[in-house]
Amino acid sequence: MTTESTECCKSTEATECCKSTEATPCCKSTGTADCGQSCPQTNLGLTCGALLLRLWLAVRAIQTGVEKFAGSVGSDQPVTIDGKTNDYGLTAATNVKEYAFSHYHGVPDALYKKFAEEPLMRLPGPLETMPKELYRWLGGKVGGEKLADAPAAWATFLEEPIMLNVYNLVLGPALLLLGLTILLGLASRTSLFLLGLLYISLTWGLVLIKEDSGVAWLGIHLIIIVMALWLSKYNRFCVLKKW
């Protein structure tokens, strides 16, 4: 490299001059004065950081969604004496964890009862009663807030408060779906944004019942999502990377 080109790179207002020289990657990217020195550029660290955040958020969402289908079943297990099954037929009641669609609960029962008492969890009167009125118009029987003769699978879904019941129904599948799309890199930016909105909706509910520790916990999750979005341009192994 000539002295002239080196001096050009050393100057502070020589962007175009640096672009015209052969050994200028360092000058253009970092503005360093030593154009003759090799300046390899790598984003490996940022790529690894983006992948780690992606995996953490995906695993967090997927396993949380799976746990919505968890429940316990009581069973009688033989009592062991000195490591051996007793000969007297003694049993002890134990609870065994299992996963099944019948155990599904989007919102835990304890929180569900608190949410149901919140007026902001209810739609305006006409909208809240519309499904019942429609069901009655179709010939169904309605008793209080319940659909008396409706199939159990969707009777509960249409009982008041409707908005909470809808949220309870979609929360688990939404976590599973978003977790899988983030894990597979399918429209990562959109998936991360939607997961952030989901956590904001959970935050709103916890604010209503004054669960401040849960609000702070979800706030940390939201910060992690923002970090993942910030590093999304370094993400790899994606489908529909633009989105």
Per the DSSP assignment, residues forming a β-bridge with 98 are 71
Give residue 102's pLDDT band: very low, low, confident or very high (50, 70, 90). confident
Reported as a single tens digit per residue, the pLDDT across 26-36 is: 444 444 444 44
Mean pLDDT over residues 130-140, rounded? Answer: 61
Residues 8 and 21: their CA atoms lie apart, in Å, by 9
pLDDT at 199: 95
Mean pLDDT over residues 173-201, rounded? Answer: 93
From 20, 106, 55, select the one nearest 224 (Cα to Cα).
55
Please give the DSSP secondary-structure letter assigned to residue 145.
Answer: T
Reported as a single tens digit per residue, the pLDDT across 84-93 is: 666 666 666 6
The whole-model pTM stands at: 0.66
Q: Which residue has the higher pLDDT, 207 or 17?
A: 207
CB 239 within 8 A of CB 186: yes
Tokens of 102: 């019948």
Mean pLDDT over residues 170-183, rounded? Answer: 93
Please give the DSSP secondary-structure letter assigned to residue 73.
Answer: E
CB 53 within 8 A of CB 86: no
pLDDT at 120: 79
Tokens of 109: 């029962």
Reported as a single tens digit per residue, the pLDDT across 138-166 is: 555 555 555 555 555 455 556 657 788 88
CB 158 within 8 A of CB 132: yes
Residues 104-125 as b or e (16 or more Cβ within 10 Å = b): bbbbeeebbebbeeeeebbeee
Tokens of 1: 């490299």
Residues 150 and 155: their CA atoms lie apart, in Å, by 5
Q: Are strands 142-143 and 146-147 parallel, antiparallel or unpaired?
A: antiparallel
Residues 185 and 228: their CA atoms lie apart, in Å, by 12
Return the percentage of the chain with pLDDT > 90, whole number: 25
Cis peptide before 78 (omega within 30 of 0): no
